[in-house]
Amino acid sequence: MVENKPAHKGIKKGLFLIPSAFTAANICMGFLAVIFSLRGFQITPTDPNLAASYFDYAAIAIGLAILFDTLDGRLARMTRTTTELGVQLDSLADVLTFGIAPVTLLYGWAVGAAFADGTSLHSIGIFALFVYLMCGVLRLARFNIQATRPRILAEGTPKMDKKNFVGLPIPPAAGLIAAIVHFAPHPLTVYGMKLAGFYSTLLMALALLLGGFMVSTVRYTSFKNVGTGRSNFYLVLLLGGFGMIVWLYSQIALLALSVAYVSHGIMWYLAGLLRSKTRRKALPDAEQSSG
């Protein structure tokens, strides 16, 4: 007897592998970023120019991981192949690529090279990097909880909004760190120990700020609905133009894009506070005029 099978059953099974393949590429980029960062830190005292190339490779790997991380989610939604395994695998990949990899890169490029072992600033730098990593893990855990939205956690938990993220997502936070390194890939020790210590202190403060933004309730645009309407043609033109700018001026373009995304949520939050204060001041005047 010949068993009748649906014609597209094999194709449907193959579609489930596509998002997972991009997730695997994401993990590969995170792994390479860690390896390049360690290699750059190792040869910084003897060959800063070669170390700069390794640090730049690590930054580019994190940037490519952001691209793969964006594509695997979109492909899963487009092909309707989203699975619970894929969601958990994606979160674990993000811990490596956007948590451990940028922390390793920051340590090898700045903190570990600028401050000697055993000094107070070296210990503070390690603590700042750990805070960034821990806040990123908490951000991912909160996102997974909000995505499932169990009833027992419904009260007091910010509701999921497809148009916005609650808190800074960890990929843009890692992207900002990678963009800074890509903009100036030479280890900070080439500027002298005093400037290296000053710049490293600023980067430690940046890591703490990014960690705070990730666990905050500030809303950031998700761009999940971009490209789903009738404006796909204009989106393709925009992406093509931006891709050309990145190809020609990658250092400036990627840094500007990262700064713009990280700061726009804060700007919206501050603008919302100003609007609420204006409304509060307007209410008593309206009550007095009505009375």
Residue 11 predicted with pLDDT over 60:
no
Residue 8 predicted with pLDDT over 70:
no
pLDDT over 70 percentage in the chain: 74
pLDDT average, residue stretch 254-277: 85
Residue 6 predicted with pLDDT over 60:
no
145 assigned to some structural domain: yes
211 assigned to some structural domain: yes
Q: Tell me if residue 267 falls in helix, strand or coil.
A: helix
Residue 14 predicted with pLDDT over 90:
no
Q: How does pLDDT run across 81-125, given as a tens digit for each residue? A: 566 666 778 888 999 999 999 999 999 999 998 998 889 999 999
Q: Tell me if residue 220 falls in helix, strand or coil.
A: strand
- In total, how many domains does the chain have? 1
73 assigned to some structural domain: yes
111 assigned to some structural domain: yes
3 assigned to some structural domain: no
2 assigned to some structural domain: no
From 105, 103, 99, select the one nearest 36 (Cα to Cα): 105
Sequence-distant contacts of 261-264: CB under 8 A, at least 24 apart: 261/172, 261/175, 261/220, 262/168, 262/172, 262/173, 262/176, 262/210, 262/213, 264/220, 264/221
Q: Which has more pLDDT, 107 or 149?
A: 107
DSSP letter for each residue of 137-186: HHHHHHHHHHHH--GGG-TTSPPPBTTEEES--HHHHHHHHHHHHHHS-S
pLDDT at residue number 104? 96
pLDDT over 90 percentage in the chain: 47
User: CA 89 to CA 27: how far, in whole Å?
Assistant: 10
- Give the domain range for residue 223: 9-284
125 assigned to some structural domain: yes
165 assigned to some structural domain: yes
Residue 62 predicted with pLDDT over 90:
yes
